[in-house]
Structure 1
Amino acid sequence: MPGGARVTAAVGTFTLEADGERLACTVVEPAAPVRRGAALLMHGAGSSGKHRCLPLAEELAAAGCRSVVFDFAGHGESTGDLGQLSLARRARQARAVLARYAPDGPLLLAGFSMSGQTVADLLGDPDIGGRVQALALGAPAAYAREVRELPFAAPEFTATLRTPGSWRSSSAFETFAAFDGRAVLVLPETDEVIPAEVTDALDAALRTRAAYTRLTLPGADHQLGGWLSTHPEHRALVAAALLSEA
């Protein structure tokens, strides 16, 4: 198991007022912490929520790493209108969660699908990026810089996403290329959502400086968080790669 012996974790649920919303948060505390800092795991878009990240958070906590998950506004138990959420608001909400539950010390960041961009946004934040020691990206997406502030319900947001190659202006590529910590790219065997050229560009960026691991999970689809929740052996593999000291 990652990090050696497993320890029993305690799960606490909390509400955080941030970005004009009430964000539902879950903190998984290891009974015997053996690692400094904390992990923040972030779910994707659509009908996703923190429940999909919780099994991996518990896996990390069992290895001694304090782990935090939360519902972005408009998702799960948090308040808000999903159509009024934006990439910029996602980053603000994630920063607020970190400020409350992991204000200092080393960080591990994990993001699924749309939260691949959110990981990049946090990594590019001068107050956060220097703390990040490891990151995991599950079937990650990348978005054009031009849509960062646009609400998801805005016609311009959808129009830009449908423009071929618009993702190439994403900040994610240069941010990940500059990262020199541990990076784990977790991919499904079949991804019906993320274009292969996006994945290839992210792969190339992560290979630039990071201590990089690429994992492809046989039988998995784009909904990796949910898939990992029912495949404990692969969940342990992802946690081990993220926590590796190599």
Structure 2
Amino acid sequence: MLSPSTHDHFAFDHFTCDHDGERLSCVSGSAGGGPTATAVLLHGAGVGNKERLLPLLEEFVARGCRGLALDFSGHGESSGALGELSLKRRFEQAVAVIDASVPADAPLILVGFSMSGQTVADLAGHYGERAAALGLCAPAVYGAAAWPVPFGDGAGLFSELIRTPDSWRRSPALDVLRAYAGRAVLAVPGTDTVIPADVTEAVAEALATRARFTRLELPGAEHMLGLWFRDHPEDRRRFVDALLGGPDDQGRKTTGSSASVAE
């Protein structure tokens, strides 16, 4: 089911994808032309949704990529209850939408915010060499025991597992990121009261192992980087530049509203 709508200067197609008893609300766009990479944008937990990511989606499409975003079940315009969602179901829903709407040989640019840092790692492990670039925005990673557990109401087993001290250090996501050899960008807000600094540094160290890695510092931003990129077009462009740039960007660290690069 497709319906066109216009966001700023670009027309997106809104559609739904049925998976595992849920109807997932999705949006896609393309500048036309031949085969190209598809940027897949994945929102965070809580009140996260695809709508706040549309300006970033438009930025990718303006550079010649295909763009795709979805509401996970229990979020935005998708069906389902948030308490029934899990990290496992998030992964499976993203796979279902990608496989249904992206050509099977198309490279993927996987971008995840907060909780979707884990989902990006899960997808990178699943799609292997098709994952041409990873964008991790204030990302979270979780221990394996939490992966299949429904989120519940915030006071159940999932919350207990993720609040176990240092449980994230054994996250399979970190193993995937250590092995990843494509382009990777880690966007780090100046103030993050959600993701512990130790998690951010562990992700950075994992990506620095093999990836062509850029760390993008956003000193004025807080945790919700989807909203930050929505409202700060210069930083939005810098993020996309870093993900789509050439191989000479390896090891970059950029800081501030204007790009200040330290090799």
Report if TM-score (shorter chain) is over 0.5: yes
Alignment of 1:134-153 (within 5 A): 134-153=133-152
Kept after mapping to 2: 8 A contact 1:34/1:65: no
In the alignment, what sits opposite 2:219?
A: 218
Tell me, in whole angstroms, the C-alpha distance in 2 between the residues paired with 1:57 and 1:19. 26
Q: What pairs with 1:156-175 in structure 2 (closer than 5 Å)?
A: 156-175=157-176
Q: What are the equivalent positions in structure 2 for 1:85-234 lying under 5 Å apart? A: 85-104=85-104, 105-125=106-126, 128-153=127-152, 155-234=156-235
Q: Which one-letter code corresponds to 1:137 in the other structure?
A: L
1:35–1:136 CA distance, 2 compared to 1 (3 A): farther
- SS for the counterpart of 1:208 is helix
For residues 188-209 of structure 1, give each alpha carbon's deviation from its aligned partner in whole angstroms, at most 9, with x where no partner exists. Answer: 1110100000011000000000
Residue identity (%)? 51
Contact 1:91/1:122 (8 A) holds in 2: yes
Structure 1 equivalent of residue 36 of structure 2: 36
Give me the whole-angstrom Cα distance separating, in 2, the residues matched to 1:221 and 1:52.
15
CA distance in 2, matches of 1:170, 1:24: 29
What letter matches 1:129 in structure 2? G
Code of the aligned partner of 2:57: A
Q: Aligned AA for 1:98?
A: I
Residue in 1 that maps onto 2:245: 244
Higher relative contact order (CA 8 A, sep 6+): 1
| Partner SS, residue 149 of structure 1 | coil
Letter in 1 for 2:141: A
Amino acid across the alignment from 2:239: V
CA distance in 1, matches of 2:234, 2:211: 25
Coordinate RMSD, CA, aligned:
1.3
Show structure 2 runs of 5+ residues with no match.
1-8, 248-263
Give the letter for the 2:74 counterpart: G
Give the SS at the match of 2:111: strand
Bigger drift between 211-220 and 146-155 goes to: 146-155
Taking the aligned partners of 1:210 and 1:33, their CA distance within structure 2 comes to: 29
For 1:51 and 1:231, locate their aligned partners in 2 and report how far apart those are by CA, in whole Å.
Answer: 16
Worse-matched range after superposition: 88-97 or 51-60: 51-60
- Letter of the 2:117 counterpart: G
Who is 1:4 aligned against? none
Please state how far the C-alpha of 1:9 moved relative to its aligned partner.
4.0
- What is the CA deviation profile of residues 25-45 of structure 1, one whole-angstrom value per residue up to 9, with x for unaligned ones? 000211x44761211010000
Q: SS state of the match for residue 124, structure 1?
A: helix
Alignment-mate amino acid for residue 162 of structure 2: L
Greater displacement, 230-239 / 49-58: 49-58
Q: Hey, what does 1:55 align to over in structure 2?
A: 55
Deviations 1:106-163 (A, max 9, x none): 11100000000000111111xx122011010000000110011100017111111111
What stretches of structure 1 move > 2 A for 4+ residues in a row? 32-35
| C-alpha distance in structure 1 between counterparts of 2:71 and 2:211, whole Å | 29
> Conserved in 2, the CA contact under 8 Å of 1:183 and 1:211?
yes
How far apart, in 2, do the equivalents of 1:141 and 1:210 lie? 18
CA distance in 1, matches of 2:246, 2:93: 29
Aligned partner of 2:11: which letter?
Answer: A
